[in-house]
Amino acid sequence: PSIPQKHLDTISHTLLSLIWCATQNIKLDIALICIVGNSPLLPFFKALGMKTIINVDGQDWRREKWGKFASAYLRASEILASKFADVIVADALEVKKYYEKLRTEKNKIVYIPYGGLEEEDIKRADLWGDDSEFLKKFGLEKNKYFLFVGRLVPENAPDKIIKAFINAKNSNRIANDMKLVIVGDAPYSSEYKKYLFEISKGNTSVIFTGYIFSTGYIKLSRNAFSFILCATVGGTHPVLVEQMSLGNLIICYDTPSNKEVLEDGGFYFSDEKELENLLEYITSLPENERTKKQNKAKELAKEKYSWDKIAKEYRNLFLSLSRK
């Protein structure tokens, strides 16, 4: 349970979990806490005898959805995490460097990324009917659409993707039958969602599906011509690693963290105009050139972002902390 409000949702859930542990007299050795905004509660977990690990999830204060007070709170939370957590987990090396600059003890920070999709996840999607039938629900065909997946919030910039796509389409720089699929939603961003609907109004090539999870998400992903990530904030984006594990052709916003993950397994852009040019470029690229990028991304996901590997790293972290 939580208080379903943008500023209170996460911390209220964590606080209620803490209260439940205390009132039920549940003795835990280690608490793994996600999101840096929960840092003010770390001393209370420690007061109950728990050692604490916090996965900070990048520079949360930079997200455009936060006002001045919330951003200041999150920056202060970074300091509290450095002071009170037994271990800070950074999901990207860039995030690790950032916390080291906050004078966090180096032996207190560990790098553990997120994992991608596993083979059993992909095989499970095969059991749920033919992909083409699923695509028909949205009027789609294999390799005839670009794909965005994420929360519909300004820092994920789906508006830039929509505008670049419409401009490329209107100037006949990409095929007339190509579409753009926007998968996702956001419970606390009604004004921004309204703006997205306005800029795509009357354009039947832009399709909003809402949230789609599990097998539906895999089916939409693996049949896309290309996946586009425009996120400007964060460390390792789980959706990026998942798209890599599917061997998708990836277009990615040029940030240090995104380049750390994708390396040379995709294409990069820095602004809306570059994205527009890139949409034209990759649709005219020979298939063998696209396949090279796709294979590279899939190899990286398998080598660096396997959940088996990441689960072992967390297991080793828990064991080492429990011995201290």
Whole-number Å distance between alpha carbons of 324 and 321: 5
Residue ranges of the chain with per-residue pLDDT less than 70: none
DSSP string for residues in 234-277: -SS-HHHHHHHHTT--EEEE--HHHHHHHTTSSEEESSHHHHHH
Q: Which residues have CB under 8 Å from 121's CB, separation 6+?
A: 218
Whole-number Å distance between alpha carbons of 262 and 229: 11
Residues in the chain: 324
283-291: list long-range contacts, CB under 8 Å, 24+ apart. 283/174, 283/175, 283/178, 283/225, 290/249
Q: What's the confidence (pLDDT) of residue 64?
A: 75
| Residue 301 β-bridge partners | none
Whole-number Å distance between alpha carbons of 133 and 138: 10
Q: What's the confidence (pLDDT) of residue 8?
A: 85
CB 140 within 8 A of CB 223: yes
Read off the tokens for 211. 């949230």
Would you call 269 helix, strand, or coil by DSSP?
Answer: strand
Whole-number Å distance between alpha carbons of 225 and 127: 22
Q: What's the confidence (pLDDT) of residue 15?
A: 94
Sheet hosting strand 51-55, strand order edge to edge: 30-34, 51-55, 87-90, 109-111
Question: Could you tell me the fold of the domain covering 119-305?
Answer: Rossmann fold (3.40.50)
Q: What's the confidence (pLDDT) of residue 59?
A: 81
Could you state, in order of their start, the residue ranges of all structural domains in the chain? Answer: 9-114+308-322, 119-305
Whole-number Å distance between alpha carbons of 206 and 321: 49
Q: What's the confidence (pLDDT) of residue 156?
A: 94
Check residue 61 and report its DSSP letter.
Answer: G
Per CATH, 9-114+308-322 and 119-305 having the same topology is answered yes
Which residue type sits at 281? Answer: Y
Whole-number Å distance between alpha carbons of 160 and 54: 33
CB 158 within 8 A of CB 150: yes
**3-state helix vs strand vs coil in the chain, percent to 5:** 50, 15, 35
Q: What's the confidence (pLDDT) of residue 105?
A: 78
pLDDT in tens, 225-284: 999 999 988 889 999 999 999 999 999 999 999 999 999 999 999 999 999 999 999 999
How crowded is residue 118: how many other Cβ atoms within 10 Å of its Cβ? 14
Whole-number Å distance between alpha carbons of 49 and 28: 8
Q: What's the confidence (pLDDT) of residue 126?
A: 83
Terminal alpha carbon distance of the chain: 33
Q: What's the confidence (pLDDT) of residue 256?
A: 92
- Whether domain 9-114+308-322 has CATH 3.40.50.2000: yes
